[in-house]
Amino acid sequence: MPAEHTYRIVIVGGGTAGWMSAAALARFAPPGYAITLVESDAIGTVGVGEATIPGIRHFNEALDIDEAEFLRATKGSFKLGIEFCGWKADGHSYMHAFGTVGRQLGVLPFRHFWARGRALGLAKDLAYYSANEIAARAGRMDTTASGPGIAEVPYAYHFDAGLYAQFLRRYSEARGVTRLEGKIAGATRTADGDIATVELDDGRSVAGDFFVDCSGFRGLLIEQELQTGYEDWSHWLPCNRAVAVPCEPTGNFTPYTRATARQAGWQWRIPLQHRIGNGHVYCSDYISDDEASAVLLANLDGQPLADPRVIEFTTGRRKAMWNRNVLAVGLSSGFMEPLESTSIHLIQSAITRLLTVLPGRPIDPAIVAGFNRRAADEFETIRDFLVLHYWANQRGGEPFWDRMRGLELGETLRQRIAEFEGANQIQPRLDELFTEVAWLQVLVGQGLEPRCWNPIAERYPAAELKAFLDAVESAAIETVRPMPRHIDFLARLCAEPSAEVAA
């Protein structure tokens, strides 16, 4: 685009969504695009959002961000999966570990051999066949780990979201993004109804051709201005509040997130270098804010480092993420509780999708429709996955959990569960975030073990099947054996390079 036709993209908001958008646009937008970000220190950010899934590494890599520098700057740690404690029943725990569980044999996925092995009394719990879970529970980490038949041990990060935003701010400003500090009080429209400017309360006006609304739950442009509408999913996911508090770190520096079921919701635990992030997600129909805070404070590893802070939300999604010349990214586009750490990923995928259709003028309605369809699909499959965790509980005598067990499931989730129980089938949709192994771990973890397998699995006599299962298990163990402790690996990686090396 020639310089005289500069295309002005204005990002509204400077939380994780705003600065991730700014950084990606700064890195990839061709000449002729001018990127401005407006944020208000007085309003601040939501201040939570610390656990991610492996896709975040692609984002950082695409931005050429050095991993050690990133972990130092964000006080981050490694994450190999999520442990779910008490979700099936009190005292029970399982893990959704990243990466593979077992391995395919011939044309069949591992779960068919595993199901047959279970029936014959030969197979152990799924956890024994996952290098990620073995490493996580042993507190081991190595980004380059591999083993016999195991190419990698996929991982994500825990990080301080505020520090990540600051890190990306430095990155973006160094690449030409203009940051304006100020409070947006309104917007003006063009003759055909698009947003023309955002108006700051000190009289400044910021004009743009395209606006990325990263203003958080407020949805300043997408909702307050364009009134796009919100699809409320509270009937499926009724938790509507979270109380968050950081606490002092203890020696238990786990390379995984923990989600522990509580009487009317659940509690997260996210270990960072300088603190542990904690929060209690709950449904206010069953527990008051004070009770929820008390439950949280009674279940911390160390001393709280701040007062508990309550955050209210409504689960659901914006009816259109892209409306006119506004794209909602982050909390302004919708929200689902962080049970599977998906929000930052949704930011990333919205930005990635935007980059593939970088708008010029005029904006093609077919592109907008395609974008919105894919974004809606993505939200809906994540929603189904979250609902599964709640619906398949066997917790007795707690009104919240009884209600969740009695949920009327949507058609897509009902179908998935029926296919799994009836035929040991798991068919993620095209482009779906969660793999069949992710679904398998949660289905089985919640107690929905398949009682059948593909008859091709019968071709292997019991002795051969056992040898296969044993080989898979020892490959997972051998992969983990040389891995150092998470804390040592991280310390080594994050050690400042000596002046000599740096030079």
Q: Please identify, using beta-carbon distances, which residue of 219 and 450 lies nearer to ligand FAD.
A: 219
163 binds ligand FAD (CB under 6 A): no
Q: Pick the binder of ligand FAD from 71, 153, 212, 214 (CB under 6 A).
A: 214
Q: How far, in Å, CA of 194 to CA of 212, rounded? A: 13
Could you say whether residue 220 binds ligand FAD (CB under 6 A)?
yes
CB of 485 to ligand FAD, least distance (A): 24
Distance of closest approach, residue 129 Cβ to ligand FAD, in angstroms? 27
Among 153, 331, 375, 480, binds ligand FAD (CB under 6 A): 331
Q: Select 7 or 335, whichever has its Cβ closest to ligand FAD.
A: 335
Across-strand partners of 97? 81
Q: Which is nearer to ligand FAD, 245 or 465 (CB)?
A: 245
CA pair distance 9, 209, nearest whole angstrom = 6
Interface with ligand FAD in residues 238-257 (CB under 6 A): 242, 244
d(CA 246, CA 253): 15
Tell me if 187 contacts ligand FAD by CB under 6 A: no
- Stretch in the footprint of ligand FAD (CB under 6 A) among 212-220, 398-406, 410-418, 487-495: 212-220
Say which residue the tokens 């506004």 belong to: 326
Pairing state between β 33-39 and 7-12: parallel
Note the helical H segments in 153-271: 161-174
Q: How far apart are CA 100 and CA 116, in angstroms?
A: 19
**Both tokens assigned to 354:** 């935007």
Mark the segment that binds ligand FAD (CB under 6 A) among 35-43, 103-111, 204-212, 350-358.
35-43
At 490 the three-state DSSP class reads helix
What is the spatial distance between Cα 90 and Cα 126, in angstroms, rounded to a whole number? 20
CB of 114 to ligand FAD, least distance (A): 30
79 catalytically annotated = yes
Beta-carbon neighbour count of residue 280 at 10 Å?
Answer: 29
**Nearest distance from C-beta of residue 130 to ligand FAD, angstroms:** 22
The DSSP bridge partners found for residue 243 are 280, 310
Pull the structure tokens for residue 6.
């500069």
Question: Under the phi-then-psi rule, with left for phi > 0, alpha for psi from -120 to 50, and beta for the rest, what region is 431?
Answer: left
**The tokens 């958008």 sit on which residue?**
21
Q: Within 357-409, where are the H helices?
A: 365-391, 399-405
Which entry of 75, 79, 88, 319 is annotated as an active-site residue? 79
User: Mask 61-100, x = binds ligand FAD (CB under 6 A)?
Assistant: ----------------------------------------
Q: Does 330 bind ligand FAD (CB under 6 A)?
A: yes
Residues in 338-367 that interact with ligand FAD by CB under 6 A: 338, 341, 343-344, 347
**Number of residues binding to ligand FAD, judged by CB under 6 A:** 39
To ligand FAD, the closest distance from the beta carbon of 148 in angstroms equals 33
DSSP 458: G
Q: How far is the CB of 207 from ligand FAD (least distance, A)?
A: 16
Count Cβ atoms below 10 Å from residue 439 Cβ, excluding itself.
Answer: 22
Of 10, 35, 50, 159, which lies in the binding site for ligand FAD, with binding defined by CB under 6 A? 50
Which residue type occupies 155? Y
Alpha carbons 253 and 77: distance in angstroms, whole number: 9
Residue numbers annotated as active site = 79
Task: Kindly list the residues in this chain that would bind ligand FAD in the complex (CB under 6 A).
Answer: 13-18, 38-40, 43-46, 48-52, 161, 183-184, 214-216, 218, 220, 242, 244, 279, 311, 313, 330-332, 338, 341, 343-344, 347
